[in-house]
Amino acid sequence: MATYRQVGRLLVISARLTRPVAGCGYQSAGLHWPSHNTRISNIWPQNPQWVVPGRTMFVQTQDTPNPNSLKFLPGRTVLEAGTMNFAGPRDAFCSPLARQLFRIDGVKSVFLGNDFITITRADANMEWKVIKPDVYAAIMDFFTSGLPVVSEDSKPNADTAISDDDDEVVAMIKELLDTRIRPTVQEDGGDVLYRGFEDGIVKLKLQGSCTSCPSSIVTLKSGIQNMLQFYVPEVESVEQVKDEEEERDAQG
């Protein structure tokens, strides 16, 4: 149950979020990402193993700003809430679905959202037409198996949950990330996690298609940073936080 302190803080946040956006490039305080063409292709499963007994299951694909990541939409709920990122097979111990997808040659990482699965390929020279049939089959086989997407004791990261220790600025940043920024990023097959606020700098970790996306810096600076600075003057800049594996990939 929310404390009086939390309720009061949320009322302040609500008042600031309703601040009108005038004289700027935002529309309804939405984010402007680097322009890209998003194409959705309907896939009719010709292979019998792509057909769910009793009815046909359609899997759609959607391009992302990252040419090495592709978004798969199975037409049903993947995660009830939040997102989960699996950078490699070792991280997929809690997800039968991710483990199955990592068995496919060419799959580097798996990202799960509410109604989508983002696959990032290991080799940019491997064409998607080689990988996609195996991914379609794996997704359809999995959803007919009755297995849970993730184990019951595994939960998505609650990085934007407001705690009693958060001051008004941090609470405002988390609220904006959760309600205004993350939905837009997830539309592109990725996510952004809150990793701290110190000396005016918001630290964020990009996941899914955003991890190795060529336009990720533009997304951070032109999209997320501008949004946060508009509503929270205390924010001076936004910086990306990378783990060791991502640093090695960037250097390689």
Question: What CATH number does the domain containing 104 carry?
Answer: 3.30.1370.70
| 9 lies in some domain | no
Same domain (yes/no): 134, 204: no
Same domain, 137 and 207: no
Domain boundary among 145, 177, 200: 145
Q: pLDDT value at position 184?
A: 84
Q: Which of 113, 145, 177 is the C-terminal boundary of a domain? A: 145
Does residue 185 sit in the same domain as residue 217?
yes
Q: Is residue 55 in some structural domain?
A: no
Domain of residue 65 covers: 60-145
pLDDT value at residue 214: 66
Q: Quick one: 141 and 72 in the same domain?
A: yes
Q: Which residues, given as ranges, of the chain have pLDDT below 70?
A: 1-56, 156-160, 213-219, 243-252
| Count of domains for the chain | 2
Do 175 and 139 have their domain in common?
A: no
Which pLDDT score is estimated for 197? 94
* Domain harbouring 219, CATH code: 3.30.300.130
CA 8 – CA 220 distance, rounded (Å):
30
The answer to whether residue 46 sits within a structural domain is: no
Same domain, 101 and 133: yes
Asked if 63 and 71 count as a contact pair (C-beta separation under 8 A), the reply is: yes
Q: Tell me, yes or no, if the pTM score tops 0.75.
A: no
